[in-house]
Amino acid sequence: MLMPFFAFEVEPLGAQPLFKLGPLTITNTILTGLVIGAALVTTLIMAARASQIWPKSRLAYYVESLVELMRGMVSELFGDEAMTARYFPLLITLFVFILACNLTGILPGIETLTYHHTSLFRAWTTDLNSTAALAVLTMGVVEVHAIKTIGFRGYFQHFFTHQPWKPLNLFVGLLDVFGELMRLVTLMLRLFGVIYGGEALLFAIGAVGGNLGWLTMLPIMFLEIFFCFVQAYLFMMLSASYLVMSTSMHDQEHSVAETRVAAGTA
């Protein structure tokens, strides 16, 4: 016998297709992502237009404060002004877009407006495809940055050291390559799991509450808002620390190897 707690339908794991645009199937998550992206671009362009030395507009003031705050955090992590200037635009874009997409899940009208019996809008990050796209983009940038900074040879040595024929180095190198792949997988699964799991939890708690569902959902909703912020911040900071680690560990290894070589010859 099924207990009443589980006697409800949670939204399906995959996004539901809405209509076809040529060969491309538009799902409800893609539609929401496009709408959120357009809204963000419009808002931020308005803020950038209104930006001046003595900000008169409230919007520009808030956006500038956010950017200043985030820039301080990122430059503290990088410890390098050139690298911050280069990668901060990507990181702040990731943060703002992921945060906006996470928070859409608890707006009214999302998942309740329907179109041909499928919900018209659904939070963009509750689809594994979208978080996979973000993770592939981020890890691609990390690898390209590593290869550009330390070269193909250094990139290879970053995994397999400078003596790849030794069995232990080979084994550790293979583990490192596997770890790099796991970073990609965990980056996408973490964001998807937290946001999707949170929304399913919200739904379940609402179903438990019955007529008082709105009251039981309230504390979970605050928890959900907190986790939306934490996950967006985490995605940004993890990308930043992967960028730092992709080259700094090489320097360390290199210096260790150099000291070893120096000790051997001395």
Partner 1 sequence: MQHVDPSLIKGLTIGLGAIGPAIGMGLIGAAVVGAVGRNPEIQGKILSTAFIMIGLVDAVLAFVLLILFTTK
The CA-atom distances, in angstroms, between 15 and each of 27, 48, 189 are 6, 34, 16
Binding partner 1 by CB under 8 A: which of 189, 205, 221, 257? Answer: 189
Position among 18, 67, 194, 217 found at the interface with partner 1 (CB under 8 A): 194
Separation CA 137–CA 149 (nearest Å): 18
Contact map string, positions 195 to 234, toward partner 1, x by CB under 8 A: -xxx-xx--x----------------------x--xx-xx
122, 15 Cβ separation under 8 angstroms: yes
Nearer to partner 1, 151 or 197 (CB): 197
246 binds partner 1 (CB under 8 A): no
Q: Determine the Cα–Cα distance for residues 8 and 204; give it in Å rounded to an integer.
A: 8
Cβ-based nearer residue to partner 1, 61 or 227: 227
Which position among 141, 208, 237, 245 is part of the footprint of partner 1 (CB under 8 A)?
237
d(C-alpha 121, C-alpha 230), whole Å: 23
Give the distance, in angstroms, between the CA of residue 28 and the centroid of all CA atoms in the same chain.
20
Residue 238 binds partner 1 (CB under 8 A): yes
Q: How far is Cα 130 from Cα 188, in angstroms, rounded to an integer?
A: 9
| Residue placing its CB nearer to partner 1 in the complex, 43 or 241 | 241
For the window 9-28, what string marks contact with partner 1 as x by the rule CB under 8 A?
-x--x---------------
How far from 78 is each of 46, 96, 136, 245, CA to CA, in Å? 30, 20, 22, 10
Is 66 a binding residue for partner 1 by CB under 8 A? The answer is no
CB of 171 to partner 1, least distance (A): 26
* Closest separation in Å from C-beta 228 to partner 1: 11
Give the SS3 label for residue 56.
coil
Contacting residue, 37, 55, 154, 193, with partner 1 by CB under 8 A: 193
State yes or no: residue 154 binds partner 1 (CB under 8 A). no
- Rounded CA-CA distance 114/38 in Å is 21
Least Cβ distance, residue 162 to partner 1 (angstroms)? 32
Query: Residue 24's beta-bridge partner residues?
Result: 21
* Nearer to partner 1 (CB atom), residue 14 or residue 151: 14
Shortest Å distance, C-beta 151 to partner 1: 30
Q: Rule CB under 8 A: is residue 73 a binding residue for partner 1?
A: yes
Tallying the residues shown for the chain, one arrives at 266
**Which residues are near partner 1 by CB under 8 A?**
1-3, 5-6, 10, 13, 73, 76, 186, 189-190, 193-194, 196-198, 200-201, 204, 227, 230-231, 233-234, 237-238
